[in-house]
Amino acid sequence: MHEFTVWAPAASRVMLHLPAADPDGYRREPMRRVADPALGQEATPDTDGWWHLAVPEAGHGTDYAFALDGGDPRPDPRSAWQPEGVHRHSRVFDASRHAWGDAGWKGLDCRGAVFYELHIGTFTPEGTLDAAIGRLDHLVRLGVQMVELLPVAEFSGERGWGYDGVGLYAVHHAYGGPEALARFVDAAHGKGLGVCLDAVYNHLGPDGNYLREFGPYFTDAHTTPWGDAVNLDDDGSHGVRSWIIDNALRWFRDFHIDCLRLDAVHALVDASPRHLLAELSDRVAALSAQIGRPLGLVAESDLNDPSMVDPVVNGGRGMTGQWDDDVHHSIHAFITGETQGYYCDFGTSSVLARVLTEAFRHAGDYSTFRGKHWGAPVSPDRHRGHQFIIATQNHDQVGNRATGDRPSATVSPGRLAASAALMLTSIYTPMLFMGEEWGARTPWQFFTAFENPELAEAVRKGRRAEFGSHGWAPEEVPDPQALSTRDDSVLNWAEPEQEAHAAMLTWYRDLIALRSASPDLLDDSFDSVSVQYGDAWIAMRRGSFTTVLNIGAEPARVPVPAGSAARLTWGSVVLDDDEETALVSPDSVAVLQVRD
């Protein structure tokens, strides 16, 4: 027995398509309009538009689709399984079939955990969740605690980043489908790793997006970079909000996910009395209390507004944490010297010192790139460093470069080591991007496999035009549709065995181990950090620890506390206890600790 339900408030007739011996292979069963799919109540003209049909012979593995008012059969907007892609029939998935082995898993607070962001399609040559399980031991040895998966929701084609998903309840078929995700999470928990899932609710992809046929999922009352906004506050928005919130709760409940990273929440335009994020926060908190383990919500926000992590009862959005791109921009511009585009207000040691102690570069002051004042300051009285997730590399900052080149393509190993030390000894929650830990030289490029040829060509031309305006020759921009673009982006797992890469991997492992074992480095109060700096050097103090680095062309004499001794060193750092200084050679970094 399976209960089929679908929300289609404007439809006057809904037919359920099921497998049969008819010429087209399907039989059609009329569905009944109900007020509540759980209760099967008869609907009235004022109810919210659910349709229902119980089919005794249907169950796990049954293919089906919905046809509205005589239209073509379409996939279920809440389909958990699309084995043949976004345009074909849905398949019933029974989540209870997986025999979970993580009964002893108590969960993980995402705040302060070491994150590791990876893309299933390029983490291994196979590009599947099952293949990724085989690399979990590497992450355990590295010392990370939370594995963050880029979106796995069903999208058009066999390969892509996942940010153009259209089947938000399904797990991409090329990654192995929903059963493979359950196996991955179970295996991760068995090795002591939490799992964070990237969820995209602010827009949907263009190919295979049939939601407008079902209901008012979008509104032209607001616009976003992707067109009409997802409908969170216009007529019929109650059904759309339920579709999003139920989706989030389902990842936690049915797949034992520990945290959701919410993509670009500034594009969730919501003028209703209770913002979607606040409602989601309360619902997730209730589920967390019910199942007895912590559940996290991390917002990617461009707003530089710490109220994102303030409790809902205090007027905030209630997020567990938020991404802080200003720290990335400050470290990247300082280390690489790049100050074009949105890096224009970054690049100096003074700006770097500011974000290391205050979270944001733009906290109510003028943003040159945006042409307006931007952001708001954190309050040391109510905000903590672990509420802000930082990175020196991530999918956006690498993949949205014209050729997807990583810093390791142009920056010396010493500077890479310095950026890692700043991130991993800071007061913030650190996040690594796959391969960063060994200085991977493989690029991570933008790639797609759209089935619609017109859309594919539009993306190809748009990508080249975008970077052509920044001075890149069109032939330098990889073709997103080419299989080679994806293949060139796959991690090379032979690299960590090579001497130079192995040294970087050891550096990351040692930094993470030192961080995890040192209370001073886990103290995330803003009052616990102070920074001194010169034109090319930084000295960041954290209790008994001081991280010093120099990216200048000449040695720098850097002030350090008396009695300091080196715990970790890359390059040459010579201590002079009498003068309370360290002579730091170019492209060198050390983590020092005051001796007892």
Distance, in Å, from the CA atom of 582 to the CA atom of 585, rounded to the nearest integer, reads 9
Buried b (16+ CB within 10 A) or exposed e, 549-580: bbbeeebbebebbeebeebbbbbebebeeeee
Could you tell me which of 304, 364, 298, 365 has the C-alpha nearest to residue 329? 304
Catalytic residue among 258, 300, 305, 310: 300
Query: Hey, what are 175's tokens?
Result: 């990654």
- CB burial readout 329-350, b (16+ within 10 A) else e: bbbbbbbbebeeeebebbbebe
Phi, psi of 178 (to 5 degrees): -65, -35
The token pair at 430 is 């650190």
Q: How far apart are CA 218 and CA 201, in angstroms?
A: 12
What is the pLDDT, as a whole number, of residue 36?
Answer: 61
DSSP 404-442: ---GGGTS-HHHHHHHHHHHHTSSSEEEEETTGGGT--S
What is the Cβ-side half-sphere exposure of residue 512, based on CA atoms within 13 angstroms?
24
What type of residue sits at position 384? Answer: R
| Distances, alpha carbon 183 to alpha carbons 132, 254, 327, in Å | 11, 12, 35
The two three-digit tokens of residue 89, written as one number = 């029939």
Query: No. of H helices and E strands in the chain?
Result: 15, 29
Contact 200, 263 (CB under 8 A): yes
Give the chain's residues under pLDDT 70: 21, 23, 36-47, 469-471
Cα 538 from Cα 560, distance rounded (Å): 11
Amino acid identity, position 9: P
Q: Which residue has the tokens 């919500």?
A: 297
Q: Which amino acid makes up residue 88?
A: R
The answer to whether the CB of 302 falls within 8 A of the CB of 403 is: no
Query: H or E element: which one contains 357?
Result: helix 349-358
Tell me how crowded residue 72 is: count the other CB atoms within 10 A of its CB. 11
The helix (run of H) or strand (run of E) holding residue 117 is strand 115-118
Alpha carbon distances (Å) from 81 to 60, 94, 197, 201, 556: 10, 10, 17, 18, 58
Question: What predicted TM-score, i.e. pTM, was given to this entire model?
Answer: 0.96
What does each C-alpha distance from 37 to 5, 151, 201, 208, 456 come to in angstroms? 6, 29, 23, 26, 39
Cα(283)–Cα(414) distance, integer angstroms:
46
Residue with tokens 């960063």: 436
Beta bridge partners of 480: none
- Name residues whose C-beta falls within 8 Å of residue 7's C-beta, 6 or more positions apart in sequence: 48, 49, 50, 51, 77, 214, 215, 239, 242, 243
Residue with token string 């200048």 = 552
- Cβ–Cβ contacts within 10 Å for residue 512, how many? 20
392: left (phi over 0), alpha (psi -120 to 50) or beta: alpha
| Tokens matching residue 534 | 């010169």
Structure tokens given for 262:
């919410």
- Which residue among the candidates 263, 396, 436, 437 is catalytic per the annotation? 263
Nearest to 593 by CA among 515, 509, 535: 515
Torsions phi, psi of 256, nearest 5? 60, 25
Helix ranges (DSSP H) in 389-535: 395-399, 413-424, 453-468, 483-488, 499-517, 519-522
Contact 160, 224 (CB under 8 A): no
Tokens of 318: 């209630």
**300 part of the active site:** yes
pLDDT at 472: 75
Q: Which residues pair with 590 in a beta bridge?
A: 548, 569
